[in-house]
Amino acid sequence: MTKNGVITQEAARAAGQAIKHVSQGLQGLAEREAMEGAMAVTFERVALLQEVSRILDQPEVEGMILFAAKAGEFEYVDTLNDAQILAGAKRAICKGYLLSAKEGAHFSLFKSGGKCTVMPKEAGYRYQLAQAGCTDIRVTAVTCGTRQSPNAPGKQELLVYGEASCVFSGKPVVVKRPKDMPYGLPCHEAGGPDSYEAKGRRRLLKDLWAAVSGEFAADLDDVVEAPQPVVIDSTATRLPDNNISPQALYEGTRSELVAYAAGIKDEGMRIAFQSALDLIE
């Protein structure tokens, strides 16, 4: 299978074909799940994932993964050891991301809480959407300033808004983040406008993938992008929650409802209300 520690082309092809076969089985389960229900296929899914794990745990395949990391085929932080890189990359592959792709890295590996965390990249989400049958995939992100991070004192967050869309099963699917309720993304000194907008596109594609697949990925951004208070103009009127009639919640303009949301004292209620506002164009 290997020659002098170098992975042979035959070994690489065999591993790829084996994983492709299992991936097709997982896709078939997804189609059956829609008809038979999740409980009917859940154990078969575990069995197929075990088969993927068996393939990925082979020494020659692990060698390919580590070589791909060193060759820059996916990104990882230097503080990760080989065992953590292998664990993270295997998890990404089991989720359907490619170890190496012509369009660029599908995922990055970070260290969070002593563990390896997988963060899908823009190319990875585009690939997943295309594999699911989505066409005309579009995404636009725009930066609109910074704010103090409520989760990390002394740190700044970049504010990004935009829209991502695709056509899925013949119907348009659109996710939007309006300018008055932007994402708050980590802002690093080493970054620039292009990298920040790339983060915004990735975040929008993540939401688009969730809308299409129902899969809500837990990755690094989920740690730093906890729900935040709505960002509105400082001159906007804050309406206490007892100063608005129930009928106004149905008839009020979006700007009025944004102001109302800012006046809700209960954090859980405020976050829920803001989530509902996200659906209003």
pLDDT tens, residue by residue, 145-204:
778 777 777 777 888 889 999 999 899 999 998 888 888 877 765 556 677 788 889 989
pLDDT at 233 over 80: no
Q: For residue 118, what pLDDT is reported? A: 92
Q: For residue 19, what pLDDT is reported? A: 85
CA distance 82 to 88: 10
Tell me the residue range of the domain where 105 lies: 2-120
pLDDT at 238 over 60: no
Q: Which of 120, 152, 167 is a domain's end point?
A: 120
pLDDT tens, residue by residue, 101-128:
999 999 999 887 778 899 999 999 999 9
Report if residue 166 sits inside a domain. yes
Q: State the Cα torsion 225-226-230-231 to the nearest 10°.
A: -30
Q: For residue 165, what pLDDT is reported? A: 94
Asked if residues 59 and 35 have their Cβ atoms less than 8 Å apart, the reply is no
Residue 63's CB is within 10 A of a number of other CB atoms, namely 16
Among all chains, which residue has been given the structure tokens 């989920």?
Answer: 222
Q: State the Cα torsion 92-95-101-106 to the nearest 10°.
A: -60
CA distance 129 to 32: 19
Helices (H), ranges, the chain? 9-36, 38-56, 59-70, 82-94, 122-131, 193-213, 220-224, 246-251, 254-262, 267-277
- Closest of 120, 130, 59, 57 to residue 92, by C-alpha: 120
Residues 25 and 114 in one domain: yes
Q: Which of 85, 120, 155 is a domain's end point?
A: 120
CA distance 92 to 97: 6
Asked if residues 157 and 185 have their Cβ atoms less than 8 Å apart, the reply is yes
If one counts the domains in the chain, the total is: 3
Give residue 49's identity as a one-letter amino acid code. L
The mean pLDDT of the chain is 77
Report if residue 129 sits inside a domain. no
Residues 236 and 250 in one domain: yes
Q: For residue 3, what pLDDT is reported? A: 44
Residues 7 and 115 in one domain: yes
CB-based contacts of 171, cutoff 8 Å, min separation 6:
none
